[in-house]
Amino acid sequence: MRSVKLLVVTGLAAASTLGCGDAATPGGDRAVVGTERAREVAAAWTGSEAARVWRQGYYPLGDAVQLPDKAFHDDNDKHAYITGNFRLEAPLPGTTKPEGEVRWSDGRSLTLPLTTARSAYDELARGGNSGPSLRVTGARLGTMTLLTSRGTATVPAWLFTIKGYDTPLKRVAVTPGKLPRPPIGPVRKQTAALGPLGGFEAVAGNGRTLTVRADHGACDDGPAVDVLETQDSVVLSASIRGVSDGPCTSELRTEKVTVKLRGPFGRRILLDAFTGRPVPYRQPGSASPSWS
Protein backbone atom coordinates (compact mmCIF):
# COMPACT_ATOMS: atom_id res chain seq x y z
CA MET A 1 0.00 0.00 0.00
CA ARG A 2 1.40 3.36 -0.95
CA SER A 3 0.05 6.88 -1.04
CA VAL A 4 0.56 8.61 -4.35
CA LYS A 5 1.28 12.19 -5.35
CA LEU A 6 -1.36 14.60 -6.66
CA LEU A 7 -1.56 16.53 -9.90
CA VAL A 8 -3.23 19.90 -10.38
CA VAL A 9 -6.83 20.64 -9.48
CA THR A 10 -8.99 20.11 -12.54
CA GLY A 11 -12.27 21.66 -11.51
CA LEU A 12 -15.21 21.94 -9.17
CA ALA A 13 -18.26 19.72 -8.97
CA ALA A 14 -21.59 19.87 -7.16
CA ALA A 15 -21.83 20.90 -3.54
CA SER A 16 -20.82 18.35 -0.92
CA THR A 17 -19.81 18.14 2.70
CA LEU A 18 -16.77 15.97 1.96
CA GLY A 19 -13.93 17.03 4.19
CA CYS A 20 -16.00 19.65 6.01
CA GLY A 21 -16.93 19.40 9.66
CA ASP A 22 -15.41 15.94 10.21
CA ALA A 23 -12.60 15.24 12.59
CA ALA A 24 -9.25 14.79 10.87
CA THR A 25 -8.32 11.20 10.21
CA PRO A 26 -4.71 10.34 11.09
CA GLY A 27 -2.72 9.02 8.15
CA GLY A 28 -2.09 5.68 9.81
CA ASP A 29 -5.77 5.10 10.65
CA ARG A 30 -6.75 6.13 7.13
CA ALA A 31 -4.31 3.62 5.63
CA VAL A 32 -5.56 0.83 7.89
CA VAL A 33 -9.18 1.41 6.85
CA GLY A 34 -8.25 1.39 3.15
CA THR A 35 -5.97 -1.63 3.45
CA GLU A 36 -8.50 -3.82 5.23
CA ARG A 37 -11.28 -2.96 2.80
CA ALA A 38 -9.00 -3.38 -0.25
CA ARG A 39 -8.06 -6.89 0.89
CA GLU A 40 -11.73 -7.80 1.30
CA VAL A 41 -12.55 -6.53 -2.20
CA ALA A 42 -9.58 -8.30 -3.80
CA ALA A 43 -10.46 -11.58 -2.07
CA ALA A 44 -14.12 -11.34 -3.08
CA TRP A 45 -13.30 -10.82 -6.77
CA THR A 46 -10.62 -13.51 -7.02
CA GLY A 47 -12.16 -16.56 -8.71
CA SER A 48 -15.66 -15.03 -8.69
CA GLU A 49 -18.32 -15.30 -11.36
CA ALA A 50 -18.13 -11.52 -11.77
CA ALA A 51 -14.43 -11.75 -12.58
CA ARG A 52 -15.12 -14.45 -15.15
CA VAL A 53 -17.80 -12.34 -16.86
CA TRP A 54 -15.54 -9.28 -16.75
CA ARG A 55 -12.66 -11.09 -18.45
CA GLN A 56 -14.91 -12.41 -21.19
CA GLY A 57 -16.71 -9.13 -21.90
CA TYR A 58 -16.04 -5.83 -23.65
CA TYR A 59 -15.42 -2.91 -21.28
CA PRO A 60 -13.62 0.07 -22.84
CA LEU A 61 -10.91 1.98 -20.96
CA GLY A 62 -10.39 4.61 -23.65
CA ASP A 63 -12.23 7.32 -25.57
CA ALA A 64 -15.13 6.23 -27.79
CA VAL A 65 -14.04 8.93 -30.26
CA GLN A 66 -10.71 9.29 -32.06
CA LEU A 67 -10.12 12.61 -33.79
CA PRO A 68 -8.70 13.10 -37.29
CA ASP A 69 -4.95 13.61 -37.62
CA LYS A 70 -3.85 17.17 -36.87
CA ALA A 71 -7.18 18.06 -35.30
CA PHE A 72 -7.98 20.79 -34.90
CA HIS A 73 -7.01 23.25 -37.65
CA ASP A 74 -8.22 26.26 -35.68
CA ASP A 75 -10.18 27.35 -32.63
CA ASN A 76 -13.45 27.37 -34.59
CA ASP A 77 -13.13 23.66 -35.38
CA LYS A 78 -12.18 22.90 -31.79
CA HIS A 79 -15.15 24.85 -30.48
CA ALA A 80 -17.47 23.10 -32.93
CA TYR A 81 -16.36 19.70 -31.68
CA ILE A 82 -16.58 20.60 -28.00
CA THR A 83 -20.10 22.01 -28.44
CA GLY A 84 -21.19 19.11 -30.66
CA ASN A 85 -21.94 21.39 -33.60
CA PHE A 86 -21.80 19.21 -36.73
CA ARG A 87 -23.44 19.70 -40.11
CA LEU A 88 -24.42 16.65 -42.14
CA GLU A 89 -23.90 17.20 -45.87
CA ALA A 90 -24.31 13.64 -47.17
CA PRO A 91 -26.67 10.70 -46.50
CA LEU A 92 -25.56 8.31 -43.77
CA PRO A 93 -25.22 4.63 -44.72
CA GLY A 94 -27.46 1.99 -43.27
CA THR A 95 -26.03 -0.89 -41.25
CA THR A 96 -25.01 -3.60 -43.73
CA LYS A 97 -24.78 -6.25 -41.02
CA PRO A 98 -26.31 -6.57 -37.56
CA GLU A 99 -23.14 -7.57 -35.70
CA GLY A 100 -19.47 -6.69 -35.56
CA GLU A 101 -16.40 -8.36 -34.09
CA VAL A 102 -14.10 -7.04 -31.38
CA ARG A 103 -10.63 -8.61 -31.69
CA TRP A 104 -7.89 -8.63 -29.06
CA SER A 105 -4.15 -8.95 -29.61
CA ASP A 106 -4.15 -12.52 -28.22
CA GLY A 107 -6.43 -13.63 -31.06
CA ARG A 108 -9.61 -13.84 -29.02
CA SER A 109 -12.75 -12.13 -30.28
CA LEU A 110 -16.28 -11.20 -29.28
CA THR A 111 -19.29 -10.63 -31.53
CA LEU A 112 -21.52 -7.71 -30.53
CA PRO A 113 -24.50 -5.84 -32.05
CA LEU A 114 -23.53 -2.87 -34.21
CA THR A 115 -24.89 0.60 -33.62
CA THR A 116 -26.11 2.54 -36.66
CA ALA A 117 -24.25 5.37 -38.34
CA ARG A 118 -27.15 7.62 -37.39
CA SER A 119 -26.93 6.81 -33.67
CA ALA A 120 -23.13 7.30 -33.76
CA TYR A 121 -23.57 10.64 -35.52
CA ASP A 122 -26.24 11.74 -33.04
CA GLU A 123 -23.82 11.05 -30.18
CA LEU A 124 -21.40 13.48 -31.81
CA ALA A 125 -23.86 16.11 -33.00
CA ARG A 126 -25.41 17.22 -29.73
CA GLY A 127 -25.15 20.94 -30.48
CA GLY A 128 -27.04 22.44 -33.41
CA ASN A 129 -26.25 26.11 -32.77
CA SER A 130 -25.51 28.85 -35.29
CA GLY A 131 -21.79 28.95 -34.50
CA PRO A 132 -18.87 27.25 -36.28
CA SER A 133 -19.55 23.66 -37.35
CA LEU A 134 -17.70 20.59 -38.56
CA ARG A 135 -19.05 19.47 -41.95
CA VAL A 136 -19.60 15.72 -42.33
CA THR A 137 -19.38 14.72 -46.00
CA GLY A 138 -19.57 10.95 -45.66
CA ALA A 139 -19.37 7.89 -43.40
CA ARG A 140 -18.38 4.26 -43.69
CA LEU A 141 -17.96 1.30 -41.36
CA GLY A 142 -14.36 0.54 -40.39
CA THR A 143 -12.31 -0.18 -37.27
CA MET A 144 -10.28 1.58 -34.59
CA THR A 145 -8.00 0.43 -31.79
CA LEU A 146 -9.05 0.94 -28.19
CA LEU A 147 -7.78 0.04 -24.73
CA THR A 148 -10.19 -2.31 -22.96
CA SER A 149 -10.34 -4.35 -19.77
CA ARG A 150 -8.76 -7.22 -21.74
CA GLY A 151 -6.00 -5.15 -23.33
CA THR A 152 -5.87 -3.29 -26.64
CA ALA A 153 -8.55 -4.35 -29.12
CA THR A 154 -9.57 -3.65 -32.69
CA VAL A 155 -13.22 -2.64 -32.58
CA PRO A 156 -15.84 -1.77 -35.21
CA ALA A 157 -16.19 1.99 -35.69
CA TRP A 158 -18.01 4.47 -37.86
CA LEU A 159 -15.54 6.59 -39.80
CA PHE A 160 -16.89 10.07 -40.54
CA THR A 161 -15.26 12.16 -43.25
CA ILE A 162 -14.83 15.75 -42.04
CA LYS A 163 -14.37 18.45 -44.67
CA GLY A 164 -10.82 19.81 -44.59
CA TYR A 165 -9.27 16.76 -42.86
CA ASP A 166 -7.33 13.98 -44.58
CA THR A 167 -8.26 11.26 -42.08
CA PRO A 168 -11.69 10.46 -40.60
CA LEU A 169 -13.16 11.04 -37.19
CA LYS A 170 -13.83 7.62 -35.69
CA ARG A 171 -16.53 6.60 -33.22
CA VAL A 172 -16.93 3.13 -31.71
CA ALA A 173 -19.83 1.19 -33.28
CA VAL A 174 -20.46 -1.24 -30.40
CA THR A 175 -21.58 -0.63 -26.82
CA PRO A 176 -20.00 -1.90 -23.59
CA GLY A 177 -21.31 -5.02 -21.92
CA LYS A 178 -23.50 -4.93 -18.83
CA LEU A 179 -21.45 -4.71 -15.67
CA PRO A 180 -21.49 -8.04 -13.80
CA ARG A 181 -22.99 -8.07 -10.33
CA PRO A 182 -20.10 -7.43 -7.91
CA PRO A 183 -19.33 -10.22 -5.42
CA ILE A 184 -19.12 -7.65 -2.61
CA GLY A 185 -21.33 -4.70 -1.72
CA PRO A 186 -20.28 -1.06 -1.25
CA VAL A 187 -19.23 0.52 2.03
CA ARG A 188 -22.35 1.92 3.68
CA LYS A 189 -21.02 5.34 4.63
CA GLN A 190 -18.51 7.61 2.93
CA THR A 191 -15.91 9.10 5.29
CA ALA A 192 -12.62 10.95 5.03
CA ALA A 193 -10.88 7.60 5.55
CA LEU A 194 -12.54 5.95 2.54
CA GLY A 195 -14.68 7.25 -0.31
CA PRO A 196 -15.49 6.43 -3.95
CA LEU A 197 -13.19 7.28 -6.83
CA GLY A 198 -14.37 9.64 -9.55
CA GLY A 199 -13.21 7.42 -12.41
CA PHE A 200 -10.25 6.17 -14.44
CA GLU A 201 -8.67 8.33 -17.17
CA ALA A 202 -5.46 6.82 -18.51
CA VAL A 203 -2.68 4.25 -18.21
CA ALA A 204 0.89 5.14 -19.16
CA GLY A 205 4.52 4.40 -18.34
CA ASN A 206 4.57 0.87 -19.75
CA GLY A 207 1.39 0.12 -17.86
CA ARG A 208 2.80 1.14 -14.47
CA THR A 209 1.15 4.56 -14.10
CA LEU A 210 -2.59 5.09 -13.76
CA THR A 211 -4.44 8.40 -13.74
CA VAL A 212 -7.68 8.50 -11.75
CA ARG A 213 -10.04 11.15 -10.39
CA ALA A 214 -10.56 11.67 -6.67
CA ASP A 215 -12.75 14.15 -4.77
CA HIS A 216 -12.14 16.20 -1.64
CA GLY A 217 -13.55 19.25 0.12
CA ALA A 218 -12.52 22.85 0.56
CA CYS A 219 -11.01 22.50 4.05
CA ASP A 220 -8.49 19.69 3.74
CA ASP A 221 -5.08 18.84 2.27
CA GLY A 222 -6.48 17.04 -0.75
CA PRO A 223 -7.14 13.42 -1.71
CA ALA A 224 -4.86 10.41 -1.39
CA VAL A 225 -5.16 7.15 -3.28
CA ASP A 226 -3.57 3.97 -1.96
CA VAL A 227 -3.08 0.84 -4.02
CA LEU A 228 -3.19 -2.88 -3.26
CA GLU A 229 -1.82 -5.09 -6.05
CA THR A 230 -2.59 -8.78 -6.40
CA GLN A 231 -2.11 -11.20 -9.25
CA ASP A 232 -5.69 -10.69 -10.42
CA SER A 233 -6.55 -7.14 -9.45
CA VAL A 234 -5.45 -3.61 -8.60
CA VAL A 235 -7.59 -2.18 -5.78
CA LEU A 236 -7.57 1.59 -5.19
CA SER A 237 -8.62 3.21 -1.92
CA ALA A 238 -9.45 6.94 -2.00
CA SER A 239 -9.29 9.05 1.15
CA ILE A 240 -8.93 12.69 2.20
CA ARG A 241 -5.85 14.06 3.97
CA GLY A 242 -5.81 16.67 6.71
CA VAL A 243 -9.56 17.15 7.18
CA SER A 244 -10.50 20.24 9.19
CA ASP A 245 -12.95 19.93 12.08
CA GLY A 246 -14.14 23.52 11.72
CA PRO A 247 -16.77 25.10 9.46
CA CYS A 248 -16.04 25.43 5.74
CA THR A 249 -17.83 25.94 2.46
CA SER A 250 -19.81 23.06 0.92
CA GLU A 251 -17.64 22.56 -2.10
CA LEU A 252 -16.50 19.42 -3.90
CA ARG A 253 -13.17 19.59 -5.70
CA THR A 254 -11.93 16.99 -8.15
CA GLU A 255 -8.26 16.28 -8.72
CA LYS A 256 -6.36 14.01 -11.04
CA VAL A 257 -4.21 11.60 -9.08
CA THR A 258 -1.35 9.48 -10.43
CA VAL A 259 -1.01 5.97 -9.09
CA LYS A 260 2.32 4.16 -9.47
CA LEU A 261 2.20 0.37 -9.74
CA ARG A 262 4.94 -2.14 -8.95
CA GLY A 263 4.02 -4.24 -11.98
CA PRO A 264 2.29 -3.51 -15.31
CA PHE A 265 -1.47 -3.06 -15.09
CA GLY A 266 -1.95 -5.62 -17.85
CA ARG A 267 -5.33 -7.37 -17.74
CA ARG A 268 -5.87 -7.12 -14.04
CA ILE A 269 -9.23 -5.76 -12.86
CA LEU A 270 -9.07 -2.17 -11.58
CA LEU A 271 -11.34 -2.04 -8.52
CA ASP A 272 -12.64 0.69 -6.23
CA ALA A 273 -12.32 -0.34 -2.58
CA PHE A 274 -15.31 1.78 -1.57
CA THR A 275 -17.82 0.57 -4.16
CA GLY A 276 -16.43 -2.93 -4.64
CA ARG A 277 -16.90 -2.41 -8.39
CA PRO A 278 -14.55 -1.90 -11.34
CA VAL A 279 -13.45 1.72 -11.69
CA PRO A 280 -15.25 3.11 -14.78
CA TYR A 281 -13.42 4.97 -17.51
CA ARG A 282 -14.42 8.63 -17.75
CA GLN A 283 -13.51 10.66 -20.80
CA PRO A 284 -11.73 13.90 -19.82
CA GLY A 285 -14.26 16.71 -19.61
CA SER A 286 -17.19 14.29 -19.34
CA ALA A 287 -19.26 13.41 -16.30
CA SER A 288 -20.53 10.18 -17.87
CA PRO A 289 -18.79 6.86 -17.20
CA SER A 290 -18.09 4.29 -19.90
CA TRP A 291 -20.53 1.90 -18.25
CA SER A 292 -22.99 2.03 -15.37
pLDDT in tens, 17-47: 344 434 344 455 666 788 899 999 999 999 9
- Listing DSSP states for 22-41 in one string gives SPPPPHHHHHHHHHHHHHHH
244: helix, coil or strand? strand
pLDDT in tens, 132-185: 999 999 999 999 999 898 889 999 999 999 999 999 999 999 988 888 999 999
pLDDT in tens, 74-112: 999 999 999 999 999 999 998 778 999 999 988 999 999
Which residues, in sequence order, are bridge partners of residue 186? none
Closest by CA position to 278, among listed 248, 244, 236: 236
pLDDT in tens, 208-248: 999 999 876 666 667 889 999 999 999 999 988 776 666 66
Q: CA distances (Å), 67 to each of 78, 141, 172, in order?
A: 11, 16, 12
From 50-59, 62-71, 197-206, the region with the lowest mean pLDDT: 197-206
Specify the pTM.
0.80
